[in-house]
Structure 1
Amino acid sequence: MANRLAEATSPYLQQHRDNPVDWWQWSPEAFAEARRRDVPVIISVGYAACHWCHVMAHESFEDDDVAKLMNDGFVSIKVDREERPDVDAVYMTATQAMTGQGGWPMTVFATPDGDPFFCGTYFPKQHFARLLDSVATAWRDQRDDVVKQGAAVVQAVGGAQLVGGPTAPISAALLQAAANGLAEEHDETYGGFGGSPKFPPHMNLLFLLRHHERTGSARALEMVRHTCEQMGRGGLYDQLAGGFARYAVDGTWTVPHFEKMLYDNALLLRVYTQLWRLTDDPFARRIADETAQFLLRDLGTPQGGLASALDADTEGVEGLTYAWTPAELVGALGADDGTWAADLFRVTTAGTFEHGKSVLVLARDIDAADPALIARWQDVRQRLLAVRAGRPQPARDDKVVASWNGLAITALAEHGVLTGSASTRQAAVTLAEVLADRHLVDGRLRRVSRDGVVGEPVGVLDDYGCVAEAFLAVHQVTADPRWLTLARQLLDVALAHFGTGEGGFYDTADDAEKLLTRPADPTDNATPSGASSICAALVGYAALTGETSYREAADAALATLGPLIGGHPRFAGYSAAVAEAALTGPFEIAVATNDPADPLVAAALRHAPGGTVIVAGEPDRPGVPLLADRPLIDGRATAYVCRGFVCERPVTGSEELVARLAT
C-alpha cells in the first residue's frame, strides 16, 4: 500500500495521508493504473472544513477492513473540491442527475476512463462496505451493464452542461422581476430567503442594495436591513470574535454549522459596509469592522494571503469551542456578570444546541444602549473570549484560494476607503501583491498556494473574474496603473480562452485538462459564478479605461445570464448586482486632487452608487485613464462625473457632487 497524499498541497488531502487506503491524487497516472489493473475508480470529493467528510473518513477510510476492500477492488482518488472545482462540478452534476441531490462528501464510482456509473454522498461504514463489494462484483460479472450505465450518466452530464441557451438583455423590468421574486421568498420574521437550512444570502443582499439605490425601493433596503440584523444578532455570527459561520441549521439563524469560510465573510463584509454607507447604522458598521478584523486576524497566513476556512469540528465535535452553559458563563465571569451575560446571550439551562449548551445570540440592540452598558458588554465579550481561547480550537484550512482572496481584497478595499481604515486598505493592497507575485505564473493564474508555494491546479473562470475585480479595486484605492494592467491581462486571458463564442463563458479554459464535459455553470451559489464575476470585472475595467470592447463583452455575457436573473434570482445574486451597476452606467468618477483627504473624495466614496468606479489622484497621472485630461479648476480639487462614457461638467464642491450623483 502506498498512500500518495503526503506531498499534496491541499490540507484536505493531507488529512488523509495516513489512511490505510491506497489513495491517489487526481492525475492521468491514477486512471492509467485503473486501466492496467482493470478495476473501477472511486472518486472521493470533499473539503477540509466538511463535517461529514470527517465522519466518513473516521468510519471508513481509517478502517483497515474497509481500506482493504477499496485497495483490492479499486483505484481510489481523493479530490479537494476547493482546489479542483472543475472536477467537482462535473461529478456533482453526475451525482445530482443520478440521485436527485448532491453534497459532500461526494462518492463516485467510475470506469477507468472516468465515466461515472454510480454516485452518492455520505455512506455509513456498513453500507459503504456492502456497496464496495457489490460494485466490485458487478464490475467483474456485469461489465457491459455497468459500462452502459456510465455512458448514460455521461450523456446526462453533457446535457446538463449545454451552453447557448436563451438570452435576455438586461433591463429595468428584468431587475424589477428579480427584486419581486426575492420579496416573495423573503422571511418576514427572521430575514433571509426560504427555510432551513438557511444560508447567508450575501449576493442577493448586494443586489438589493444596488436596486434600492437605483430605484429608491424602500422594500429592497428593508429586506437587507432586516436580514443583516437577524444574521448579525443570531448564532450565525460569532458574538465574541466576529466572523460568520457557513449557514444556520434552523430558520432562525440560531444554531450554525460552525465552519467559517473566507468567501462568506468577504461577501458579508461588503454587504455590511455598504449597508452602513447607506444608513449610518452603527450596528452595521460594527459588524463590518469586526468581520474585517476576523479575516485579517484569524485567516491571515504567515506567508501572506488568507486561509480558506476554519473547521466545523473541534476534535471531532461540532460546537465544542463555541457553545456555553449558564454555569460555564458564571464560572468565567462570576455570578453577577455571568447571570447578566446568560440573559443577554440567551443561554438557558435547556440550551439551544447539543448537551444542554447554547450558541450565543444577541438578545437585544446593544449598539443603541447607553455607554456604560456598551462598556460592560465589551468587557464581558473580551473575558469570555479569553476563556474560550483556552478551549480546543478548530483546525484551519490554510490553503490560499485565488478567487476567494480576490473577494476578500475587494471587500477590504471597500471597507478601507469608506470607513477610513488605513489597516484594511493596506491589507487589500498587500493581499493583491501576494496574488500578483505568487499566483500569476507566466501570465496565467494558479488557483491555490500553501505555505508560500503555488500549487499545480490552474485557475478557473471565477479565479480570473474575482482576482481581476480585486485588482481593479486596488487600482481605485491606490491610483497605481500596475493593477489596471494586471486586470486587463487576466480579462484578455478569460476572453481568449474561456469564451463560448456565443457571449457566455465556460468555467475552464480551452487548453485546460479535458474532463467528461466542459463545465459552464452560470448560477451564483456559495460564491459568485465564474460568469458573473468576469462580468463584474469587465464592466469595471471598461468604466475605468473607456475601452468599449470590454463593455460589449460584458453586455453580451450578462444577456446570457438574463433568464436566470429574471426567473431564479436567488441563484443569480451577483449577476443581478453587476446588472444593476451596468444599468446605472456605472458612474465613473475621477477626482483630480493633490490631497487624497480632500472632502470631495470622501463625498464621492460615500454617495456614489454601488458599482461606481472612483479614482482620486493628481491630474494626468501616467497610466491612469480616468485621470487623463482632468485638470484642477481654480487650483481646487475637481470631480469629473461620467456615466456610460458620457461626462457632465466638472464640480468642485461636495454638495454639488452629491446632488449630481442623486440624479
Structure 2
Amino acid sequence: MNELINANSPYLLQHSENPVHWKMWRTEVLEEAKKSDKLLIISIGYAACHWCHVMEKECFENDDVASVMNTDYISIKIDREEQPEVDAIYMKALQIMTGQGGWPLNIVALPDGRPVWGATYVNKRQWTEVLTQLQQLYKSDTAKMYEYADRLHEGMKVLGNVNAHVEPDLSFSIEQLVSKWQRSFDLEYGGYARSPKFMMPTNLDFLQAYGTLTNNNELLNHIDTTLTRMAWGGLFDTLHGGFSRYSVDEKWHIPHFEKMLYDNAQLLKTYADAYKRTNYPLYKQVLQKTISFITDEFQDSSGGFYSALDADSLDKKNILKEGAYYTWRKDALKDLLKEDFELFSKVYNINEFGHWEDGEYVLIQNKPLKDLAQHYSIPVEELEIKKRKWEQKLFSERKKRAYPRLDDKILTSWNALLLSGMIHANSVLKNEAIEKTIFKLEHFIHNVLTNENFELGHAYKNNKVYIDGLMEDYAFVIQANIDLYSYYGKEEYLLNAKKFSNIAFDLFYDESQNCFRAHQKNPALIMDHFDIEDNVIPASNSIMTNNLLLLNSIDYNPHYHKSALKMLENIIHTIDYASAFSHWLLAYLKTKDTFKMITVGSNLYKKNMETLRNKYLPNTLLLYKELENSPKIEVCSSNKCILLNDFNELLDMISIK
C-alpha cells in the first residue's frame, strides 16, 4: 500500500517502509481523492532535512498515527527538490496561514488539492489531534471548510499575480534600496544581524558588484568580513571543504550540518570574484577545498553531480545524530595532536567560543593566522604548515566514522549552477583537472539531460531522466552556456543558449503575466507558480532576465530584449526589501551605462585575455571570438561600440593597471 518503494528520490525511499500508505504526487491520486471524497495530506521535505527525519520517526513510523492517516486521508509524500513548484505553491499557503515557513511542510487539503491547514514539524500528539479534528469538521461542516479554502485560494492567487505584486514605486532608487539594506548587516560577523544565518550568495554577488562599481568601501568591507568569517570554519568544513546550508548562530559557528550542491556551486563564483578583487589567499583556499569536496563526494561516474549530504549520521552508539560526523571531543583531539594540542586549541577555539554542546566542539577560527602567529611568536609560514598537517590528520581520522547519508539524485538546475561556478573558479585556479570536469559536466547536461527535441529533464537517477524540465533548469543551463561561450569562445555554446531560450518561451512564457511560469502546464496544480523572489537560489525569472539581456548584447534580438525589459519593468519598481531581488538588481545594472561588453580578437587571446580574466570586472561581459581584420578589441556600452587596436588603451579605459 506504500507506493514509495518505486520512487527514485532518496527522501521518498526513506519513507518507503513507513506504515503510512504513502502515494506519489500525480494526477491519478488527486482524482482518487475526489472520487473517495477524502481529505489529502500533502507532506513535503527533502533528504538532508533534520526535522523531516525527526517527524518521520515520531509520527510516520508509528502504527497508531498511520492508522489515522490511512483510514481518513489520502497521504502524498513529495521531495521538494524534485517538484519545487508544488512545494512553492503549498509553502505560499502555509505562510498565509501561519506567517512562517519551513520543512517538513505538512498540508491538509480538500480532495481538489486546495489547502485548509498547514504546519511544519509537529509532534505525535499534535499531529493526531489535528488530523482527528479536521476529519470531524469535514464530516460535520463541509461547507465551512470549502468556504475557508475558497478565501485562502483567492489570497494565494492574488499574491501569485506578478502584475499585482506590489504597488509600483516610481521613485525607484537603487542607492536608497542599498542604504536601507545595509541597516540589516552584522558588522562584526558579516551576513545579516540575525540567526539562523544563511549565506545568500545571490545577495553577496550583487553587493560585491555594486560596491565595486560605486567604490563603496563600506559595502566591500562587509563582503570581506562575511566571506572571511564564513570561511574560518564551523559553517565551512575546514578539513575537507564545502559549506553547510546555514548557521544556527550569529557567528557562523554551528551549522545545520547538511551540505547542499546549490550553495557550494554558487559560492564558487562569489569567492572567485572576491579573490580577483582582493588577491586574499584564504579565498583561493576556499575554492580549492570546495571543489575538492564536490568532486570527491558528489561526482557521479556519468559526469553529473549528486544533490546533498544529510545533516545526520550515526554516532558511536549507532544512533542517527545531527553533526555526529563533524564534531570533536577535547580528549580525542589531545590524543591525536599530542604536544600540538595547545596551539591547535588556540587556532580552532577548543574553548568556550568553539564549544557546541555536551562536550562537543565544532572547529572555528576567529582570528587571522598572521595575528595568531605573531601572538605566539611563530613564523606564519610555520603555522600554515602546521594547520595543513592538523587538518590532514583529523580528516584521516574522521573518515573512520559513519558517513552522512547521500542524496544521490542529480538535478539539472543545480548541476548547471555548478557548471557556471566551476568556470568562474577555474578562471582563478587554472587547473587542467577542473577543466576536464567542466567539459564532462557540459557533455552530461547536453547529451544525457537533454532529449532529442532539445528539451531538458529536471531529475536523473538510475540511468534515466524521470521528471520533465522546469523553468529553473532552462534558466540555469542557459546561464551556464553563456558562461561557457564567454570563457571558451565556441559558437556552439551561444547556439545552445539561444535554442534553450526559444524552447523556454514555448513551454513556460505567460504573456498575461509577462513572465515565465516555474513549470509546464499541469492540471494537478491548484494554480500556476511564477518564481520571482531571489532566495538561497536566484529566481528563474531574474536569471532569465539577465540571460536575455546578455544574449541580446551578444547578438541583437529584439524579442529577447523586449521580453527582458518587460519582466524587469514588472518587478524593479515594486522592490521594497532588496535582499529578495538581488539578481533583478543585477539585471537592472545591465541596462545602465556601466555595463560593458568587451570582445577580444583571436590574435590577442593567449597573450592578453588572461589579464582581463584575472581581474574582477563587475557588470562586464568578456568575449573571445574571431573579428574581421584581427587583432581588434571591441568595447560596447549603451548601444555604442568602439574598436581599439592597442591593449593598453583598453586597460586604461576600464581602469586596470
Other structure's SS at 1:588 match = strand
Asked if 1:363 is matched to 2:366, the reply is yes
CA contact (8 A) 2:427 2:614 kept: no
Deviating more after overlay: 153-162 vs 420-429 = 420-429
The answer as to whether partners of 1:468 and 1:487 remain within 8 angstroms in 2 is yes
3-state secondary structure, aligned to 1:186: coil
SS in 1 for 2:6: coil
Alignment of 1:251-650 (within 5 A): 251-315=250-314, 316-333=320-337, 335-348=338-351, 352-366=355-369, 370-441=380-451, 442-456=453-467, 458-501=468-511, 504-509=514-519, 511-565=521-575, 567-584=576-593, 586-594=595-603, 596-598=605-607, 600-607=608-615, 609-617=617-625, 619=626, 629-633=627-631, 638-650=632-644
Residue by residue, what CA displacement relative to the aligned partner does 1:233-278 show, whole Å, maximum 9, x if unpaired?
A: 1411111111111111011111111111111111211111101111
Does structure 1 retain, via aligned residues, the 8 Å contact 2:26–2:524?
no
- 1:19-418 aligned at under 5 Å gives the runs 19-165=18-164, 174-315=173-314, 316-333=320-337, 335-348=338-351, 352-366=355-369, 370-418=380-428
Change (3 A) 1:117 1:227: same
Greater alpha carbon shift after TM alignment, 417-426 vs 185-194:
417-426
Determine the C-alpha separation between the residues in 2 that align with 1:427 and 1:445: 21
**1:108 partner SS:** strand
Tell me the residue number matched to 2:649: 656
Give a deviation string over 1:391-422, Cα, whole Å, max 9, x none. 11111111111111111111111111243233
Q: Distance in 2 between matches of 1:47 and 1:228?
A: 27
Question: How far did 1:337 drift?
Answer: 1.9
SS of 2:75's partner is strand
Contact residue 159 and residue 165 of structure 2 kept, 8 A? no
Counterpart contact for 1:277–1:418, Cα < 8 Å: yes
Aligned length: 643
* Deviation at residue 384 of structure 1 after TM alignment: 0.4
How many Å apart are 1:596 and its aligned residue?
4.9
Partner amino acid, structure 1, of 2:498: R
Give the RMSD, CA atoms, in angstroms. 2.3
| Superposed CA offset, 1:580-617 (max 9, x none) | 2442553222222257532x101221336224222325
Q: CA deviation at 1:503?
A: 6.7
CA distance in structure 2 between the partners assigned to 1:470 and 1:264 by the alignment: 16
Partners of 1:275 and 1:112 lie apart in 2 by: 51
For 2:169 and 2:144, the matched residues in 1 are separated by 47
Give aligned-pair identity as a percent: 29
**Aligned partners of 1:506 and 1:593: how far apart in 2?**
37
Q: Contact 2:27 / 2:523 at 8 angstroms: preserved in 1?
A: no
State the distance in 2 between where 1:367 and 1:32 align: 66
Greater Cα shift, 122-131 or 496-505: 496-505
Query: Does the 8 Å contact 2:166/2:574 carry over to 1?
Result: no
Q: SS of 1:602's equivalent?
A: helix
Cα offsets for 1:609-630 (capped at 9, x unmatched): 224222325x3xxxxxxxxx44
Higher deviation after alignment, 227-236 or 491-500: 491-500
Question: Secondary structure, in 3 states, of the residue corresponding to 2:606?
Answer: coil
Deviation at 1:375? 0.8
Distance 1:172 1:97 in 2: 29
Q: How far has the Cα of 1:341 moved from its partner? A: 1.7
Residues 291-300 or 494-503, more deviating: 494-503
Contact 1:255 1:352 in 2 (8 A): no
Q: 1:119 to 1:236 in 2, by over 3 A?
A: same
TM-score scaled by length of structure 1: 0.92
2:599, 2:623 within 8 Å by CA — same for their partners in 1? yes
**How far did 1:173 drift?**
6.6
Q: Distance in 2 between the 1:230 and 1:218 partners? A: 18
SS of residue matched to 1:296: helix
**Residue number in structure 1 paired with 2:377:** none
Distance 1:176 1:607 in 2: 25
SS at match of 1:546: coil
- The 1-side partners of 2:152 and 2:283 are apart by 47
Contact 1:506 1:518 in 2 (8 A): no
| Shift in CA distance, 223/503, structure 1 to aligned 2, threshold 3 Å | farther
Structure-2 change in CA distance of 1:65 and 1:81 (3 Å): same
Write the deviation string for residues 480-516 of structure 1: whole angstroms up to 9, x where unpaired: 2222112112211233343342674243345344511
Residue identity in the other structure for 2:655? A
Q: Which amino acid is 1:586 matched to?
A: F
- Rounded Cα–Cα distance in structure 2 between residues aligned with 1:360 and 1:532: 37
Q: Structure 2: which amino acid aligns with 1:590?
A: T
The change in CA–CA distance for 1:53 and 1:397 in structure 2 (over 3 A counts) is same
Ranges in structure 1 where 5+ consecutive residues have no aligned partner: 620-628
- Work out the CA distance in 1 between the residues paired with 2:88 and 2:71: 28
Counterparts of 1:513 and 1:238, CA distance in 2: 44
| Aligned-residue offset at 1:54 | 0.5
Shift of 1:103: 0.9
Opposite residue 25 of structure 1, the aligned amino acid is M
1:362 partner SS: coil
When normalised by structure 2's length, the TM-score is: 0.93
- Equivalent in the alignment of 2:376: none
Amino acid at match of 2:360: K
Note if contact 1:460-1:508 (Cα within 8 Å) is conserved in structure 2. yes
Tell me the alpha carbon deviations over residues 318-372 of structure 1, each in whole angstroms, 9 at most, x when there is no partner: 1101111221111222x21233222211113796212111111013323786222
Indicate the SS of the match to 1:455.
strand
> What is the rounded CA distance, in whole Å, between the counterparts of 1:84 and 1:67 in structure 2?
24
Tell me the amino acid that sits aligned with residue 653 of structure 2. R
